[in-house]
Structure 1
Amino acid sequence: MNTEFFIAKRIYKGDKKNEKRVSSPAIKIAISGIALGLAIMIAAVCIIIGFKKEIREKVIGFGSHIQITSFESNNSYEDHPIAFSDTLKKRLLNNPAIAGVHGFITKPGIIKTEQDFLGIVLKGVSDDYDWHFFKKNLIEGKIFSPTDSAGFNPAIISRNIANKLHLSLGDSFTTYFVQEPVRARRFTITGIYETNFEDYDKLYVLTDATILSRLNGWEDDMVSGIEVLVRDYDRLDQTTQELFFEMSAYQDRFGSRLYTQSIKEINPMIFNWLNLLDMNVWVILVLMILVSGFTMISGLLIIILERTNMIGMLKSMGASDFSIRKVFLYLSAFLIGQGMIWGNVIGLLFCLLQKQFNIFKLDPSIYYLTAVPIDLNPVFLILLNAGTLVVSLIMMIAPSYLVAKITPAKSIRFE
């Protein structure tokens, strides 16, 4: 057995069973510092990752990963139509980075009830639309499909709109469209969703794309744009760039060139804000590691001073400074490991309880979420533990040099 490891283990465990020799209050504080620091780091990382993931999914749910529109379209919701042919759809789906594509139509309108009116944007979707996001956030009713909406115009509205206009599931409302001539359509509410993302909840109403296509006088293959879902979000920028050059060289049957944008480019303010959160995480990690490291340094110095007599004896028996330093570095590793075990228990317990019971609430009007989100990513947790262990041990190297200052003659004073 490694001699230094054996000595460190005996110091840590003590001479008698269940009796720990390393038990001074300063050492307990050092272990507590490691535990508390790691617990806070685990909570901070899981919360920030969860928050970014939830907000990102909400934005993507309304606009997909990538949107392909005409170069002639502007920032209004009355887009210049493009032709979405089966050939173009197959061409996009042949790209291994793309998981799905579907066309959409957007059209602004004004909902008029007996007491109120409200400007909204209708988003028309077809039978190949990915409903996963809205099914997750549907609080009443059900998702419509072209086959079960014959004879009436279905609409899925947000609870925000429903509350403002005093509408309920199954109610009907009239929407006016400012065009030449002005037209009106009556819609029936088949579902009510709530994402708590007010910027979108107060705006979007989902309906059948065929209704908006007839209002615009468009042909069957004409859409406002194409939404593209990618398989790997981490490669979103690369996939967008590839599609940009491919679609800019493509011409539809109207001779229109196609313009490709990622959801990051469409909503730069939101994604820039989310990127700023990464800085908060790094600040927390650095501060917690520094605090934990300095508490361990003070603990190690106290252990060395308490073991001055032992150091003198080892030196008189021929042990080198390097060998004795290894003893205390092993001992530091034991103490750091004990602190990390408790830190993981506390941090993961907090995250699991929050994830399961949503103990800590948030104001959705400010944070777009009703509770503190948690995302337990095993990769980040492993990296966080490994980084904490490595950095803490590196910080222990400098105080271990105090061993070289102790001589056998001086250590007799501590008898």
Structure 2
Amino acid sequence: MPLGFHYAIFVGLRYSFSRRRNRFASVIATVSMLGMVLGVASLITVLSIMNGFAAELRDRILALVPHGFVVAAEGRIEGWPQLAEVLVLQPGVLAAAPYLTDKVIFSGQGTLRGASLTAIDVQRQATVSSVNEAMLTGTLADLQQPFSVVLGTGLARGLGVAPGDTLDVTLPSLTVTPLGTFPRSKRLRVVGLFAVNAQPDGYQAYVSLETGQRLFGAGAGVDGIQLRTSDLMQAPRQLAALQQSLAPGLLARDWTQTQGSLFRAVKMEKIMVGLLLLSVVAVAAFNIVSTLVMAVAEKRGDIAVLRTMGARAGGIMAIFFAHGLGLACTGIGVGAALGVLLASHIARITAALERWLGVKLFDPSVYFISELPARLQWQDVAAVIAASLLLSLLASVYPAWRASRIAPAEVLRYE
């Protein structure tokens, strides 16, 4: 660093933190720093909460959704056991299980509900999803009873049924009889309920593969093979590589293609919330303009003396850059520390508020959560700090340039 800039940093920081300042200017500077603290802390905390919500959503929904699928381009897959054996030998594939699925209408206690009915291999399903761990009553093994069904808790509640009750299912296929053509329907017995505390609880139902093949009239065929890979987040890359080794007429799809729109919506929401909160930081940053403009007006005499002592215009600009960034960095540093602290302890803070207020802020039956989830990501913290510093730097440019344009002769003429 050139020697001339050492004095600029020293003088600029003295302007920022000296107690011998105009009181009104001190108030404006303090408000700017507090605004920066509030904006940075809020942005880090909210982004961490959004990360926590996304992680909760991903973990709960993907407890039922496998990492990937292999489906036929047309029709159903015949001879699926041989295909499943071949798939588990592929790199990155840990397990495979067949499935059949379609949209159906359930009728129970005088209520109709649309649902997604999936037929699964009871033994293999546990290797590709965590649905067995989500069971509240019964187990997947109970599906081995003919024409039995497991429902999500929300779907069961809407239909008014419980384990041991029966309900009717109407499928999107027709049965031709001498009396005419009728929708295919069948009575099923509820043997279990599951809950992942997310949207699938309200529309998902399971039957055994044997029952599903009879209901859907699929014979020995299946709609596809569910896959579990070695890494959920690497599943898109692994399934793309798997596609190269599949026979013609077979397609490999990953979970981002079936559930990706939901997670893209969550990501877009995080970006939009981040931009809105960044406006708070922007307001605080541009309050620095007011602080520096007032400082330039107050320090005109000092600027003139420094210029007559040999200070260059660049050195004067550096003084006010240091002045503005000194205020900004203090606010950003305190705000970042406060934001990290809040994000790390937000669950405890909300729990303390609930005890103090005597209310339940997050009712699990309404929000699917009992506390605010937060997942602090240091890349978010770094991005917030970098964006705040950039805004503060931009806010300091104009006042610093105005200070460098002050003519010392005109100032000293009236001193």
Tell me how far apart the structure 2 counterparts of residues 382 and 135 of structure 1 sit (CA, whole Å): 40
1:190 alignment partner in structure 2: 192
Q: Is the 8 A contact 1:153 1:186 kept in 2?
A: yes
Q: Structure 1 unaligned runs (5+)?
A: 74-79, 252-256
2:223 alignment partner in structure 1: 224
1:310 alignment partner in structure 2: 302
Give the superposition deviation at 1:379.
1.6
Seen in structure 2, the aligned counterparts of structure 1 residues 28 and 100 have a Cα distance that, compared at 3 Å, is: farther
173-182 or 21-30: bigger deviation: 173-182
- How many residues are matched? 389
Tell me how far apart the structure 1 counterparts of residues 17 and 113 of structure 2 sit (CA, whole Å): 72
Tell me how far apart the structure 2 counterparts of residues 196 and 373 of structure 1 sit (CA, whole Å): 14
Counterpart AA for 1:95: P
Task: Indicate whether 1:3 and 2:2 are aligned.
Answer: no
The one of 263, 272, 277 aligned to 1:280: 272
SS in 2 for 1:63: coil
TM-score, normalisation: structure 1: 0.74
Seen in structure 2, the aligned counterparts of structure 1 residues 396 and 13 have a Cα distance that, compared at 3 Å, is: closer
Q: Is the 8 A contact 2:60 2:196 kept in 1?
A: no
2:403 alignment partner in structure 1: 403
| Partner deviation per Cα, 1:90-127 (whole Å, 9 max, x = no partner) | 5455334x565433233666655565565544323343
Seen in structure 2, the aligned counterparts of structure 1 residues 36 and 203 have a Cα distance that, compared at 3 Å, is: same
2:69 alignment partner in structure 1: 67
1:159-170 pair list within 5 angstroms: 159-168=153-162, 170=163
1:9-408 pair list within 5 angstroms: 9-14=13-18, 24-73=26-75, 80-85=76-81, 88-91=84-87, 94-96=90-92, 98=93, 100-106=95-101, 111=106, 113=108, 116=111, 118=113, 120-126=115-121, 127-129=123-125, 130=127, 134=131, 140-141=136-137, 144-146=139-141, 155-168=149-162, 170-176=163-169, 184=186, 186-197=188-199, 200-213=200-213, 222-230=221-229, 238-247=237-246, 250=247, 257-266=249-258, 270=262, 273-274=265-266, 276-277=268-269, 280-281=272-273, 283-284=275-276, 287-352=279-344, 354-356=346-348, 357=350, 361=362, 374-408=374-408
Name the % identity: 17
Give the superposition deviation at 1:27.
0.3
Seen in structure 2, the aligned counterparts of structure 1 residues 295 and 118 have a Cα distance that, compared at 3 Å, is: closer
Q: Structure 2 unaligned runs (5+)?
A: 177-183, 355-360
Seen in structure 2, the aligned counterparts of structure 1 residues 278 and 236 have a Cα distance that, compared at 3 Å, is: farther
Give the superposition deviation at 1:331.
2.8
Q: Is the 8 A contact 1:152 1:188 kept in 2?
A: no
Q: Is the 8 A contact 1:309 1:412 kept in 2?
A: yes
Give the superposition deviation at 1:25.
0.7
Seen in structure 2, the aligned counterparts of structure 1 residues 111 and 381 have a Cα distance that, compared at 3 Å, is: same
SS in 1 for 2:197: coil
290-299 or 45-54: bigger deviation: 45-54
**CA RMSD, aligned part only?**
4.2
SS in 2 for 1:223: coil
Counterpart AA for 2:227: V
TM-score, normalisation: structure 2: 0.74
SS in 1 for 2:74: coil
Tell me how far apart the structure 2 counterparts of residues 131 and 239 of structure 1 sit (CA, whole Å): 16
2:179 alignment partner in structure 1: none
